[in-house]
Amino acid sequence: MSLSRQVGLNAAGQIAGRLYTSTLSFVITAVLLPRQLGEVNFGIFAWYLTLYQLLNNVLDFGLGTIVIRDASRDRAHAGQLIGTLVLIKAFIAALGVALLVALAFLFEGWGMRFGLLSLAALHLFFHAPGGASAIFHVDMAFRWVVTASLSGQTAWLMGTAVLAVAGVDGPAPYLIAFGLGPLVTGCLGYLWARRRVAIRFDATRAQRSQLWKQAWPAGISMTLASLYFYVDTAMLRPLLGEVAVAHYSAAYRIMTFVLMVPVLVSQVVFPVYSRLWAKGPAALLPFYRRTLRLLFSAGVMVTALVPGLRAQVIGIVYPPEYGVAADALGILSLAVVLVFCAYPHVHLLLAAGYQRKMMFISAAAAGFNVAANLWAIPRYGIEGAAWTTVMTEAMVLTGAVGVALRLTGVGPSLRDLSRPGACAAGVLIVQRLASPLWAGAPALVQLLIGVGLGLLGLAAAGVWPLRLGTEGAPDG
């Protein structure tokens, strides 16, 4: 099978699976819980869920990425690498649980809610066996990852539905229901991974130390990246209260829904980056530019169209009282193209072994983000947090492109990006000029017209069909 077909099928399968899970997530967090809990309790739910997601993203502390990279180069050692990954993730999960329990006590005090939140925090442990799913990334066999994720998300929906039917109106039980997802996903991922590779826990201390030496800079980088990605929501509760968290989360979750595209595409192509880099920068450059062009084309369409549709999107997804989140969504959409373009450069640095450089970029971005939010949130509310996100992502992209070009010689070609950029500009002009024609139409119709314009723009940009070449494909 050609690399284009492998990447296309795996990315399409991942995106289809994520569409299902994200749709379920929207049903829970946008349709059901805002109405079931009210703004204050939903703000509390969204605040803890943000903390969960922040910790979930850093549990392997960079080890997952290094394991995928090294196992992609040497499949024979995959079982031992994955076993070490599972053990270390379990240890870090214990630290995460302790942190969540401490925060629950700090904000809620003693009582039933504290006990339930402490129980909900235990879900972090189930991300440890889920680390075995790294083997599916190495082998580009993503259907198993997708199936495990679908099963976990369905378990979350069923648990939430049972609580809603029972009339539960407190946030803590719904966070316990959320924990059913990682439990099912982690256990299934581990069981299915054992069918593909013999997971071994016999790494010597020297081997674990060597892996840790490679991973910790990437771990710090990912921890700081998660910090600047989620900290604005976490800071909103102590600075502005639970209602502000609810409103900002409404906009932010729509943006993160869109960001599944670069996340999933990058998961598919990262093993290819690792294999090609082993052959030298010249071998990687064509593939890198093609993937960057693909992600830029998709991201710039979103950035061009969403600001003009921000009120319609919020109105369709959330109850009327969340309409104040529309401006924040319009601002956040400006960051989408920046994030889409950052992913290929971040993975280029990781594939090339420059995780320490990425650590410094993430540290600078996290420091700026926290300081800027402390200044902007009290003055400009959720819109200030949104502008801080845009500036932070611009900083990350600029730093990653500059460092990658200087250290690897691999960088973007403006010629490759000019056609998609021109198509996005054309789509934006058409939207602005023609929008009065459908201004009186229902919000859903206006949104569908916007989606249609975006798809036409992608077609005109010449992204499809994928032509990624045959280099870097796994054997067999």
Using a 10 angstrom Cβ sphere, with 0-12 exposed, 13-18 middle and 19 or more buried, the burial of residue 90 is: middle
Q: Is 211 within a domain?
A: no
Reference 68, options 137, 130, 150; nearest CA is: 137
CB atoms within 10 A of CB 375: 12
Same domain, 193 and 322: no
Backbone angles phi and psi of 224, in degrees to 5: -70, -35
Q: What is the pLDDT of residues 350-397, one digit of tens each?
A: 888 887 788 888 889 989 999 999 999 999 999 999 999 999 999 999
Q: Is 214 within a domain?
A: no
Using a 10 angstrom Cβ sphere, with 0-12 exposed, 13-18 middle and 19 or more buried, the burial of residue 468 is: buried
**pLDDT of amino acid 301:** 94
Same domain, 280 and 172: no
118 to each of 100, 109, 155, 198, 263, how far by Cα in Å?
Answer: 7, 12, 20, 34, 30
Same domain, 143 and 71: yes
More confident residue, 97 or 464: 97
pLDDT at 67 over 90: no
Q: What is the pLDDT of residues 238-288, one digit of tens each?
A: 899 889 988 998 888 888 878 877 877 777 777 788 888 888 888 888 888
**pLDDT of amino acid 6:** 54
Q: Is 472 within a domain?
A: no
**pLDDT of amino acid 339:** 92
Q: Is 348 within a domain?
A: yes
Q: Is 476 within a domain?
A: no
CA 366/CA 94 separation, integer angstroms: 24
Same domain, 232 and 301: yes
Cα-Cα-Cα-Cα dihedral sign, residues 319, 322, 323, 326: negative
List Cβ neighbours of 150 (8 Å cut-off, separation of 6 or more): 17, 20, 21
Please compute Rg for the chain using Cα positions.
22
The domain tally of the chain equals 2
**pLDDT of amino acid 137:** 78
Q: Is 466 within a domain?
A: no
pLDDT at 76 over 60: yes
Same domain, 304 and 196: no
pLDDT at 22 over 70: no
List Cβ neighbours of 144 (8 Å cut-off, separation of 6 or more): 133, 136, 189, 192, 193
More confident residue, 221 or 117: 117
Reference 423, options 332, 299, 338; nearest CA is: 299
Backbone angles phi and psi of 473, in degrees to 5: -75, 145
Reference 230, options 379, 361, 388, 98; nearest CA is: 388
Same domain, 164 and 242: no
CA 426/CA 446 separation, integer angstroms: 18
Structure-token pair, residue 302: 């979103």
CA 36/CA 183 separation, integer angstroms: 24
Banded model confidence at residue 13, pLDDT cuts 50, 70, 90:
low
Same domain, 74 and 162: yes
Same domain, 238 and 172: no
Same domain, 38 and 150: yes
Same domain, 122 and 251: no
Same domain, 189 and 316: no
Same domain, 173 and 235: no
**pLDDT of amino acid 10:** 55
Q: Is 373 within a domain?
A: yes
Host domain of residue 382 = 225-460
Question: To which H or E segment does residue 425 belong?
Answer: helix 414-434
Mean pLDDT across the chain, nearest whole number?
84
Banded model confidence at residue 476, pLDDT cuts 50, 70, 90:
very low
Q: Is 475 within a domain?
A: no
